[in-house]
Amino acid sequence: MSNWVEQIEAAPSLAALEELRVAALGKSGAITAKLKSLGAMDADTRTVEAPRIHAEREAVTSAIAARKEALEFAELEERLATERLDLSLPAPFAPTGSIHPVAQVMDELTEIFADLGFAVAEGPEIEDDWHNFTALNIPEAHPARAMQDTFYIEGDGHRVLRTHTSPVQIRTMQSQKPPIRIIAPGRVYRSDSDATHTPMFHQIEGLVIDKGITMGHLKWTLETFLKAFFERDDIVLRLRPSYFPFTEPSAEVDIGWSTEKGRRVVGGSEGWMEVLGSGMVHPKVIANCGLDPDEWQGFAFGTGVDRLAMLKYGMDDLRAFFDGDLRWLKHYGFKFLDVPTLSGGVGA
């Protein structure tokens, strides 16, 4: 046994070590042959020889592993000491980055709402139950709290991955005095996945709190925003009565579409597609934030940033947004100089 271990410890290279491994432990190796001979021994002899042979195999296996690790480390050290890269040489190609469509649309939305007097507000993506649900007038038994919709933090049933950016509205109303005009863009999480839904997606919500606010202000704001975003004057809106726990009255917002060159595009009124949820902030929500609902009113709205990007730039599968495919990003991505401006047009 000691002879094998001594040879292994003296092996000068990985190739020499492999030769020793085959000679000792290969199919026709010396130690393998000893193991095969155990079957032909009588019981008394096997009782004596088996532990010795197995111990020899274990010792040789351990020695090979240790020597291999040492040789590989020495080889790496030598490469690190001798290899050089001339950074002054020109690259074979000029790689260029691009802006993800979601980031581009976020910039477009920020530019539009900044012109309307809205500030950008942010909040944590891991939220507590009160900010994500209770403060928004979502009772304990509401379906939005169901496990199939919400990601709950393991071991803490009172903390969740936020299901919308509405908690940012709550935190803003708690920390700022009215009047308030904010948009709250960011990542949100829901347990859903198909061509138009992903477990993580991007949402933008808007909030206005002031005196004398009406549904008319809401409709004008949304109409102005959608015309600027899609860069078309023939944008037609339809508000349908709906239900959200945190707004009353609530309205789904549909946008008209028409057919151009065989494709459905935003604008006109051949048909309708839903793009937004909106409504007047529920008095209970205003009161939960320490404000007097008899003095302050407001409206709120929310939509998916990824969906807006799909509608404007012609993507047909939301899952591709998160695949990390450079070919897709090269096709749909934006140049870093395509900065949205109202004067030059928010669209690239």
Specify the DSSP element, H or E, that contains 248: strand 247-260
Q: What are the φ and ψ backbone dihedral angles of 160, each rounded to 5 degrees?
A: -140, 160
Q: Is pLDDT above 60 for 344?
A: no
- Give the DSSP letter of residue 189: E
Determine the Cα–Cα distance for residues 164 and 135; give it in Å rounded to an integer: 13
The C-alpha angle with vertex 109 and arms to 255 and 166, in degrees rounded to 5, equals 85
- Helical H segments across 146-211, by residue range: 166-175
Q: What are the φ and ψ backbone dihedral angles of 251, each rounded to 5 degrees?
A: -150, 135
Residue 39, pLDDT score: 83
Return mean pLDDT, the chain. 87
Is 286:310 a contact under the CB 8 Å cutoff?
no
- Give the DSSP letter of residue 92: S
- Helical H segments across the chain, by residue range: 2-9, 14-25, 30-37, 43-82, 101-115, 129-132, 166-175, 215-230, 283-288, 305-313, 326-332
Residue 277, pLDDT score: 94
Specify the DSSP element, H or E, that contains 244: strand 237-244
Dihedral angle computed from the Cα positions of residues 202, 204, 205 and 206, in that order, rounded to the nearest 10 degrees:
170
Residue 73, pLDDT score: 92
Determine the Cα–Cα distance for residues 22 and 29; give it in Å rounded to an integer: 6
Other CB atoms within 10 A of residue 299 CB: 24
Q: Is pLDDT above 70 for 180?
A: yes
- Enumerate the domain spans of the chain: 2-82, 101-332
Other CB atoms within 10 A of residue 25 CB: 17
The residue type at 13: S
Other CB atoms within 10 A of residue 312 CB: 19
Determine the Cα–Cα distance for residues 262 and 313; give it in Å rounded to an integer: 16
At 234-279, the pLDDT tens digits run: 889 999 999 999 999 999 999 998 888 877 888 888 889 999 999 9
The residue type at 322: F
pLDDT band at 157 (very low <50, low <70, confident <90, very high): low
Query: For 62-66, 85-89, 199-203, 269-273, which range has the lowest pLDDT when averaged over its residues?
Result: 85-89
* Angular region, 207: left φ>0, alpha ψ -120 to 50, beta rest: beta
User: What percentage of the chain reaches a pLDDT higher than 90?
Assistant: 45
Q: Buried b / exposed e across 46-60, counting CB within 10 Å, b at 16+?
A: eeeeeeebeebbebb
Residue with tokens 């902030």: 281
- Tell me the CATH number for domain 101-332: 3.30.930.10
Classified as helix, coil or strand, 225 is: helix
Is 305:113 a contact under the CB 8 Å cutoff?
no
pLDDT band at 139 (very low <50, low <70, confident <90, very high): confident
